[in-house]
Structure formats: C-alpha cells, structure tokens
Structure 1
C-alpha cells in the first residue's frame, strides 16, 4: 500500500504535464472488475470504448494499478469501480485530480450492502451460527455504519437485482455525459434489464423446485448477496474477502461432517482457486466438485470465449441445480 501511495503521488505530479484525452469517437469508460466492465459494455453499446484495468486471471483483491492504468483512469469520461476497502486508492486519486477527475460510480454506493459474516465452521468462527443480517442503509456516508468487527461484503453484483440497479446507474450517467445518445442508452438498459430479470426468475424457479437449500464451499465465500436473494444456506472455509487460502484441519473436518450428515452431493470451489480443500473434502466424502463463479474476474480463455455476467451466472444455475437435487 505504501508503494502504491508513493506511485500515486508521483503520477499526480506528472498528470499536470499530460495533454487532454486525445479526441476519439465515443466516451471512454474505465472499469476495475469484470461485472463493472460487462454492465458498462452492455449499456454503452457502440457509443463508448469500455476498458477493464483488472487483467484476466488476476484476483481483484491483490490488484495494484500500473502507471499506465492510472493515466487511463485520469483520461476517462466515466469510471465504474466497486468501492470496497481495497479500492481506497481510487478515492484518493479522484480527490487528487479535483475538477479534472472523471465521473465515478462506486457500485457499493448504488445498492443496499451487508456485512461479511462468520458462519459455523469457518476459520475464526464460533461453534454456533453467528448469522449477522445487518443491513447497511447506504446513501448517508456512501456505505453507512461499518460493523466494528466485520467489513462490508463487497460482492454486491452476485444478486442479479443489484446488477439491474448498477446497470441503471451506468445508463443514467452515460445519458448525462452524452445526451445525444440518451435514447440508445435507455433502450440498451431496458433490453439488458429484461435479460437480468429472466436470470433472476430462473434462479427463483430452480430454488423453489430444489430438494435442499444448503451449499458447501471448500473455499472463500463471495456469494452472500446471492444466497440472501434466493434463500439459500451455506457453509464455507472463509468469508468472501479473506486473505487466507489454506483452511485448518478443524474447518476441513467440519465441512466433511456437514456433507456427510446432510447428504450433500457437491462441494463447490470458486474461480482461480487451487481447489486443494474442495478436492480433499470430495475425496473423503464421495462428493463431486463444481465451480461456483463469483464473476469477480474471468480467465483469458473465458474472455476470449465471449463470457458475460449472464452466461457465467447461467453456468452457476446449471451447477446449483445439480448440487441442490
């Protein structure tokens, strides 16, 4: 973080010497994770150039921008970022740019947020369930009251209804920046909203027909907004933004016992995971392993194959349908 702060200060001095953004057709939108990138390109259509600073295959929690990234951000018309603790550098950078800063949208400011939680069996969790259903009243200070012990869960896009709210805010921002194409942005949003509503309905129907409502992850758990939206229970090795990657023997044993006791047929892992814990649990319990994609970022192969938020969530739908029946 100190290195990033020093880099930012150096670049701020250099920005004064930079020319204004070169004239190019359409708006320039810079995004910091894959959901922000995909929502922006779905709504902007041909009227903007949308770039994703997070390289394919890189965990967003460990991302640090390069000097080239910071210059691209400074020259953007619109910045769409998540707004979590790991992106405080964005706020500092925008403040440093003053009136020259791009229009910025923090996705966590656009929806109701909840705190991360420690559930039974997680590392550092008590032995009994500690469900914290604290709802953040956003809008007063951006994220509301912070829990003294737990950070806000940053993975707001995993609920398709939040994806709608974020996409709407992007469409409105683009319409203000580019009034001549406002009708196109509105039409693109409405078409995308219909797809997201269909996705939401597909998840609701799948859950209503499922024979169980509990999932197990031998991994971090970045899907809390998703499980809250669809009434699912879960057990996992770590909260969503945990820096830990190797669960203890106690946590592994708890997840194994849970799978055996509840006869759960599948243990999930998330994208870019080593899968060591989920494979061990599967080996010892006879469960299968499946991917539950948080859509935080995608691999180069997924990007080349044309992956979208909606396509990856439908992949999740398929895997969840198998795991819950």
Structure 2
C-alpha cells in the first residue's frame, strides 16, 4: 500500500517555521549543539540515507525523509520534513527528477545549507520523451557502480561542509566502495549461473533498467509501463504483455514489496508463469524496513539478485 501525506500550503509552511524558530532558534550553531557537534544531514530517500550513514558514520546525524515502502514518486512532505530541512547543514537528494517535491520544500523551509544531488556524474538512461520522464530514468541505484558515484558525491559534500573530519569521510568512502565492488562482482557471478536464454525480466514497473543494463538481462516488459508507479496499463496492453510473456518463454514475473501484487498475479495466471510477490519480492523504489531482507542497500541488491536468479533458473 502506498502511503501519502498531505502537502502543506505556503502559509502552513510559514507558520510551522515560525513556531520552530520561536521554540529552538534557527541558527546553525544552536542546531549543531543539540547533536553533539555532528553534521546535521537530511536525506530524501531510503537509499541515499543509507549511503549517508555509511559515509558519515558517527560524525553525522541523518534524518531520513522517506520511510521504507513509501513511494518516492508520489510523496508529499510533512511538517516534520520541512522543519528538518530548515535545521539541516546538508540535504542529500537522489536526483534525476525523483524528488519532484523537494524544490518547493527547500524554498519554503528557508534552507541555506549545502544541497547535494547525488546523481551528478551518473550516466543516465533516457526516458520515453514524456514530461514525467524528461530527466531520464531516476532508479540509478540499481547499479552498484552508480552507487559508488552517489556515495562519492555525498563524501565530497560532507568534507566540504566539515573539513576537520575529511579523513574520516574519505576512509569510510574507501571502505564502502570496496563493499560495493564486492557486491557488483557477486551479482555478476550469480547472474552468470542463469542460462543466457533464460535471463528475461518482467517487473511490476520500469525500475530495474540500470540493473538490466549492467548485468546483461533482457527486459521483456513491465506491468506499469513507466518509471512512475502511478501509471497503468490498459486491458489490451495487459493481454499483449501476457502473450509476450508466453511467446518469449519468461520464467517468472517480479512484483515489488512496496506495490500491490494483484495485477502481476492476474497476468501471471493468464500467462501461466510464476509470480514473485509479497513482502519478500523485489525491492524497487525503496529499501525494506529494519529486519527485512532489504534493510540496507547491500542487503537489498543481494536479496533482489537471489530472488531473480532462483526464479529464472526455475
């Protein structure tokens, strides 16, 4: 189930910030004091929040806006989000148009710290030409090499804002990069165990393009024909996809833990193939909650790969 919060009008933003200022002050110095001198970081998505924690370690206090299984395409900020941004030293975003709500929120919050677009330098897959996808495919984290670039951008911003702890950020980045390299090699090895003619993917929505490109899978189609989860296939398009699944010999359809599996299950039944659905299916747009197989970025990609490989091998 997707969770939505109510977007605040400008007067509500102003009222919230006035109250926050009256209660706690708005200076960066006073805010830093409440965190024991730690850098105050606001991270938009579950993925960049995880990267920020790995890079920042005990030198940062990370406030994560999006919670697990909350759709980043649909999100609307809460009063607490606005207050956190108003008090932050650094705001980290995933980028590529994913956080359409962020510009207004930052403006309303009166944020004057460092804003980090973690997608800077990532080779972006093109969209389909619509306004919705004008910036390209925002699901950049599904390639660990892109995650390395994102983490590097975060480390550079932390070092620029907090020069005294640069050595710590650099060391943490080096350690995390090594883990990402190991993950990339492991995924390649796992995918290589699937016969080449069985490496065909059908997903709930078009969120795995970077993964498909990196590990040389064949993308057959998605139930939601868009990067955004709010789009829908027509009845005719669903029948066409089911027929394509049959003719191409697809072994399984992959739903996502954060999306209702009803349509995927209907197509699977029509096409006569297995559907990977439920809480332990793929993690696409968000990490999973604490204790789940997708609780961290590294866990998520390992879980997704294991799920894909086991299903495609039949």
Q: Where does residue 178 of structure 1 map in the other structure?
A: 162
Q: Where does residue 209 of structure 2 map in the other structure?
A: 224
Q: Where does residue 50 of structure 2 map in the other structure?
A: 38
Q: Would the alpha carbon gap of residues 40 and 267 (structure 1) be closer, same or farther in structure 2, given more than 3 Å must change?
A: same
The Cα offsets for residues 33-78 of structure 1, whole Å up to 9 and x where unpaired, read as 1111100001111111112111333211221111221111111111
The Cα offsets for residues 246-296 of structure 1, whole Å up to 9 and x where unpaired, read as x33222222222222222221111221110121112223332222222252
- The whole-number CA distance in structure 1 between the counterparts of 2:285 and 2:230 is 18
1:106 to 105, 110, 117: 117
TM-score w.r.t. the length of structure 2 is 0.82
Q: Where does residue 293 of structure 1 map in the other structure?
A: 283
- The whole-number CA distance in structure 1 between the counterparts of 2:172 and 2:290 is 26
- The whole-number CA distance in structure 2 between the counterparts of 1:188 and 1:159 is 20
- The whole-number CA distance in structure 1 between the counterparts of 2:132 and 2:105 is 27
- The whole-number CA distance in structure 2 between the counterparts of 1:45 and 1:180 is 14
Q: Where does residue 307 of structure 1 map in the other structure?
A: 295
Q: Where does residue 137 of structure 2 map in the other structure?
A: 153
Residues 1:322 and 2:310 aligned together: yes
* Matched position secondary structure for 2:295: coil
- The whole-number CA distance in structure 2 between the counterparts of 1:90 and 1:15 is 20
Q: Would the alpha carbon gap of residues 301 and 248 (structure 1) be closer, same or farther in structure 2, given more than 3 Å must change?
A: farther
- The whole-number CA distance in structure 1 between the counterparts of 2:92 and 2:183 is 23
- The whole-number CA distance in structure 1 between the counterparts of 2:132 and 2:87 is 38
Q: Where does residue 265 of structure 1 map in the other structure?
A: 251
Q: Conserved in 2, the CA contact under 8 Å of 1:282 and 1:289?
A: yes
Q: Conserved in 2, the CA contact under 8 Å of 1:60 and 1:297?
A: no
Q: Where does residue 74 of structure 1 map in the other structure?
A: 86
- The whole-number CA distance in structure 2 between the counterparts of 1:200 and 1:95 is 38
Consecutive unaligned residues of structure 2, counting only runs of 5 or more, are none
User: Does 16-25 or 229-238 show the bigger shift?
Assistant: 16-25
| 1:140-289 to 2 correspondences below 5 Å | 150-151=133-134, 152-211=136-195, 212-217=198-203, 219-234=204-219, 235-237=221-223, 238-245=225-232, 247-289=233-275
Consecutive unaligned residues of structure 1, counting only runs of 5 or more, are 118-145
- The whole-number CA distance in structure 2 between the counterparts of 1:116 and 1:12 is 37
- The whole-number CA distance in structure 1 between the counterparts of 2:87 and 2:105 is 12
| 1:88-103 to 2 correspondences below 5 Å | 88-95=100-107, 101-103=112-114
- The whole-number CA distance in structure 2 between the counterparts of 1:306 and 1:324 is 20
Q: Where does residue 127 of structure 2 map in the other structure?
A: 116
Q: Would the alpha carbon gap of residues 200 and 170 (structure 1) be closer, same or farther in structure 2, given more than 3 Å must change?
A: same
Q: Would the alpha carbon gap of residues 89 and 283 (structure 1) be closer, same or farther in structure 2, given more than 3 Å must change?
A: closer
TM-score w.r.t. the length of structure 1 is 0.80
- The whole-number CA distance in structure 2 between the counterparts of 1:321 and 1:83 is 29
- The whole-number CA distance in structure 2 between the counterparts of 1:113 and 1:203 is 21
Q: How many angstroms does 1:149 deviate by? A: 8.0
* Matched position secondary structure for 2:250: coil
Q: Where does residue 124 of structure 1 map in the other structure?
A: none
* Matched position secondary structure for 2:119: helix
Q: Conserved in 2, the CA contact under 8 Å of 1:158 and 1:223?
A: yes
